[in-house]
Amino acid sequence: MVIAKLKERWMQKKSRQIVCAVWGLSNHAKSEIIPGLKKTGLYRLKWVGGSNEERAVLFRKRFKFQMHTTQFSEILEDTDVRAVFIITKNRMHAPLSLQALRAGKAVFVEKPMVLTYEECREIAKEVERSNQAFTVGISRRFSPVLRFVKEHIARRTSPATVIYRFNQPKNKYFWADEEGGMITHMFAHYVDVPSWLLDEKPKIVYAESSSNEQKKEIQSKNVVATIKFSGGSIAAIVYTTDGDTSFEREVIDVFCEGKVVRMKNFKDVEIYDSGKIKRLSFSQDKGLRNQLTEFARKIKGERSEVISIEDCISSAVFPFKVVESIRMNNAVSLDWQKSNKK
């Protein structure tokens, strides 16, 4: 009797799960995305795939997927699959997302969403046409510690100043390559977080990169970008590889109305107010599990805080504009629709 009831509950839970597929056999998929999907309990892992069949077999066995494949088309042809998670090479993000949307699948794609303006336009049109759930893997706004910071500054009535510092010593990535380079890969976070914290839209960016005056080279190893927002707030993004691993990796400072709120490594918060310091600690959490939960709600048609397509586009275009600003040595508008660039 007890066993029968447990089996019935398990079957009911399974029937409510979203059948999904993961395309991409990267370390990020292995260490973050797939474990995150399993922890939510909201997804049923049916397909896992990529170009390396031996690795696909290992993923299937390790994470208990039902099937593996080296053909993306097999996943799209499976009518049971409702959602596809694209965690593969950057240059394939947009083409595979478009294929999945056209096949009637919900899409979760890792950053960067696109590598060109034209891909951005195509994604925007296809999301609107297909009416499928779509989002990008920029999870930091779903972090519990950042949610605390946002609640703490929510009642402000004047513009704020944000400093977002990212310390990544010994970075191996260069200015740009076929996968877009580190600016394209990481800077989506650096516009999404302050935009969400402030509830303001980014309008203008001015960026500078460290350079070798003798070789006249532009390098992405050290970049400082300043953003002006729609409500009058400003943010300074500092990305550097010249630091040390003993120093905090990510630090966000918010200055507003005589207070300062500092977040360190998605774990610690310091509040400076009236000459006093209050310190709080959280379990380190960059928000992935919460984002996957919100994506599931969106797919089911429930109320969801999934990142909107407008914000996905904003985060995708921002790195292009940072590069443009550095090369032009001038501030540039973040209105992507007015850009004629490919």
Tens-place pLDDT, residues 7-64? 444 444 556 899 999 999 999 999 999 999 999 999 999 999 999 999 999 999 999 9
- What are 96-155's pLDDT values in tens digits? 999 999 999 999 999 999 999 999 999 999 999 999 999 999 999 999 999 999 999 999
d(CA 183, CA 206): 14
Strands (E), the chain: 18-23, 43-49, 67-69, 83-86, 106-109, 134-136, 161-167, 202-212, 217-229, 234-240, 250-256, 259-264, 268-273, 276-281, 332-333
- What are 308-322's pLDDT values in tens digits? 999 999 999 999 999
Where do we find the tokens 């995708």? 316
Burial track 177-211 (b if 16+ CB lie within 10 A, e otherwise): eebbbbbbbbbbbbbbbbbbbbebebebbbbebee
∠ Cα 198 149 36 (to 5°): 100
CA-based nearest residue to 163, from 231, 235, 250, 239? 235
CA-based nearest residue to 162, from 279, 240, 259? 259
As a whole number, the mean pLDDT across the chain is: 90
Task: DSSP for 227-270, please give it.
Answer: EEETTS-EEEEEEESSS-TTS-SEEEEEEETTEEEEEETTTEEE
Q: How many Cβ atoms from other residues are within 10 Å of residue 133's Cβ?
A: 24
pLDDT exceeds cutoff 50 at 5:
no
Whole-number pLDDT of residue 169: 85
Whole-number pLDDT of residue 175: 43
Percent of the chain with pLDDT over 70: 88
Whole-number pLDDT of residue 267: 95
Whole-number pLDDT of residue 130: 96
Whole-number pLDDT of residue 15: 60
Confidence tier at 220 by pLDDT (50, 70, 90)? low
pLDDT exceeds cutoff 70 at 177:
no
